[in-house]
Amino acid sequence: MVVELRPLTTEDVEAHNAGEDELVVRWLTGGYGTIEGTAEHFAVLADNAAAGVGKRGYGMWVDGRLGGYVDFDPDLDDGLEADEVNLSYCVHPWARGRGVAGEAVALVCALLRSDGIGRRAAIRADPENDASLRVADKAGFRFVREFVSGTDRHPDGSPATLRLYLLDL
């Protein structure tokens, strides 16, 4: 299996949205993407990448097929200290259970190191998201603490408690 990261383009919108399922919505997006909304999001990520600022995202290409999404956000500070860079990811159902997210996280961490972005990579995960907790563990992140998020919410509107995992870059 070969996992590559590539910037997402408007040609990837339909494949990306088709890969969303109840787990992606529950753990990452909070709702299903639309063609217009996803295209707009990809454009923002591309603009940020071109400027070298803010959240930047990539498609996880698995053996040449879009198998998920990963991004990093050096500006997110909910539960994080300065120079800790938040990572988020999702894997399409067909690609799950193959180590795709762990490989993508390793690739993003290598990119952060080479570009000198941040001091530590951070994964903030819901304690019930077993798959994300496994990714953090297998990728060598260390558990730091649980905290009540100031931004993330449960579907009922209550604040989410998240686990913070860090990896020195």
The domain tally of the chain equals 1
Contacts of 71 (CB under 8 A, 6+ apart): 45, 55, 56, 57, 58, 87, 88, 89
pLDDT in tens, 78-112: 999 999 999 999 999 999 999 999 999 999 999 99
Q: What is the mean pLDDT of residues 163-167?
A: 98
Q: What is the mean pLDDT of residues 1-20?
A: 92
Task: Categorize the per-residue pLDDT at 23 as very low, low, confident or very high, splitting at 50, 70 and 90.
Answer: confident
H-run or E-run covering 49: helix 35-51
* Token pair belonging to 9: 């383009």
Decide if 118 contacts 82 (C-beta within 8 A). Answer: no
Q: Which of 55, 150, 137, 144 is nearest to 101 (CA)?
A: 137
Query: What is the pLDDT at residue 38?
Result: 93
The Cα–Cα gap between 93 and 35 comes to 20
Structural domain that includes position 26: 3-168
Q: What is the mean pLDDT of residues 109-118?
A: 97
Q: Is the pLDDT at 134 greater than 80, yes or no?
A: yes
Helix (H, G, I), strand (E, B) or coil at 135: helix
Contacts of 45 (CB under 8 A, 6+ apart): 7, 8, 55, 56, 57, 71
pTM of the model: 0.92
For residue 92, what is the domain's CATH number? Answer: 3.40.630.30
H-run or E-run covering 100: helix 100-115
